[in-house]
Amino acid sequence: MSGWESYYKNEDDEEEEQEESPEAGGDYKYSGRDSLIFLVDASRAMFKSQDEDELTPFDMSIQCIKSVYTNKIISSAHDLLAVVFYGTEKDKNSVNFKNIYVLQELDNPGAKRVLELDQFKGQQGQKHFQDLIGCGCDYSLSEVLWVCANLFSDVQFRMSHKRIMLFTNEDDPHGSDSAKASRARTKAGDLRDTGIFLDLMHLKKHGGFDISLFYRDIISMAEDEDLGVHFEESSKLGDLLRKVLAKETKKRVLSRLKLKLNKDIALTVGVYNMVQKALKPQPIRLYRETNEPVKTKTRTFNVNTGSLLLPSDTKRSQTYGSRQIVLEKEETEQLKRFDEPGLILIGFKPLIMLKKHHFLRPSLFVYPEESLINGSSTLFNALLTKCLEKEVMAVCRYTPRQNIPPYFVALLPQEEELDDQKFQVTPPGFQLVFLPYADDKRKVPVTEKVMANPEQVDKMKAIVQKLRFKYKSDSFENPVLQQHFRNLEALALDLMEPEPAVDLTLPKVEAMDKRLGCLVDEFKELVYPPDYNPEGKVTKRKQGDEGSGSKRPKVELSEEELKAHISKGTLGKLTVPMLKEACRAYGLKSGLKKQELLDTLTKHFQD
């Protein structure tokens, strides 16, 4: 009969797998692989840069796509990616449309695909592109979208997200040809109806990119509502990478839950994970001869007969005291269910009541969902607006899933923020902050502090002011992880040596010394005595010094305490030095082993 701990362990493992799987959250309707087609305009305008020092729009697009490929290999290698060029001289597609070249069909990202893209980087890459594929002029965007739809339909796997990312610097591709423009709008609408979303990564052009000429009717507005606005065109690689990352990153909800304001009023919200600890991927066991992954299967057998046991043949048990309690699987599941999943509003508190030392774990993000209850966004926005006006937070009881105990959480209102390019930096919604229980708070012993005088405080303020900088968490990468993945990248791409990772966590000592100047020496003079030497050795105490006696202090036990230990059977909890000291105090002769000391003391007091 297996222990109950193993049952809980297995259940927890299953829950963790569910949370990471696409179907986490019960109401989550997507499951399968993410798929993304990079659709790149290869007309002549994409190969012209406005300044000599700037990258061409085509080169920016290729570098951006390569960056997504390498990130996908590390983060989610099961996703499907493809690259399609349009406006080309040569054509290669399943429908034999002119001026459309499918470079890579939808498949998992790999080293060979990255190397193939790398051939189109820089001046040499553009020349290679002209020789291999070439630039054309005439094309039909509706035919381009048709080819992309066929690429999705040819995939045998189940796909959760189907997305097309369009790179171009032409804001009116069909100009005066209204028939082609109309067909393109119709085809884009058909794709949207079948769950294929089109995102525009528009690049800088002379005179500016006017999205209202054509692409406002083409791109998927429903998806753009997550970002709030259509951002401006990109002129730098960094801006383009940031926008592609924002569009490409999965926005899968952990769960869709009801936020109950009272018994009669509720709305649906989606809970998103904002911070996930980055770990090295687990090693995969391979069969030695074929290098194919091997699967591990666990079977339960009867100890006496050796026969295979089915799940229905086993029960769970837990020992309480000396009695073994047997529970059925249904009973254990009922014990673990505290409440239905959801958020229940308890009340409101001022924002100033939430302290920094209340932090338990990274917060989650709450955003409205219309999938279950219509009108949730309207009610959610009204609640968010009032919380921002009154500077209060909503205190709720949060139950993520049925078999997880409830948490007390605070919903902190968060206002939308846009940067100079009208790109959303911070989305509107609530930060779900986990509040500590009374058991989570520790009682830290207070030590005596030596208070600094005002002169020392002022000097340290000047030092701190000199070393201030604007902290951004995404400016610091884990150097161990970065080097690990660069080593893997070098092996996969057959590079001579991996690119060294820069450890950004190390302090910039020279820059700090230059900023501080003589402030550090002045602070030392104020705090430390003149003859202070931090590198000097501590002088050892002499044998004749006071308090230099035996290493262990003598512990004396009274006769009543020893008798109490013997009667309770707790004499064995005493240490050997304490037992020796007790035998010496009563003039008892005994051996050196603990059991001999216990026997001697027990016999003495029982007699």
Residues recognised as catalytic: 29
CB crowding 320-340: b at 16 or more within 10 Å, else e = eeeeeeebeeeebeeeeeeee
3-state SS assignment for residue 225: coil
CA-based torsion, 561, 565, 568, 573: positive or negative? positive
Q: Report the alpha-carbon distance of residue 33 to residue 353 in Å, rounded.
A: 43
Phi, psi of 132 (to 5 degrees): -85, -45
Contact 311, 318 (CB under 8 A): no
DSSP for residue 203 = B
Short-list 59, 38, 42, CA closest to 104: 38
State how far the alpha carbon of 503 is from the alpha carbons of 421, 487, 506, 529, in Å: 30, 15, 6, 36
Q: Quote the Cα angle for 56-62-63, to 5°.
A: 90
Q: Report the alpha-carbon distance of residue 26 to residue 355 in Å, rounded.
A: 33
- Residue 114 CA neighbour count, 13 Å, CB half: 21
Residue 282 buriedness (CB in 10 A; 0-12 / 13-18 / 19+):
exposed
Contact 255, 26 (CB under 8 A): yes
Q: Report the alpha-carbon distance of residue 570 to residue 18 in Å, rounded.
A: 48
The helix or strand, by DSSP H or E, that contains position 256, with its residue range, turns out to be strand 255-260
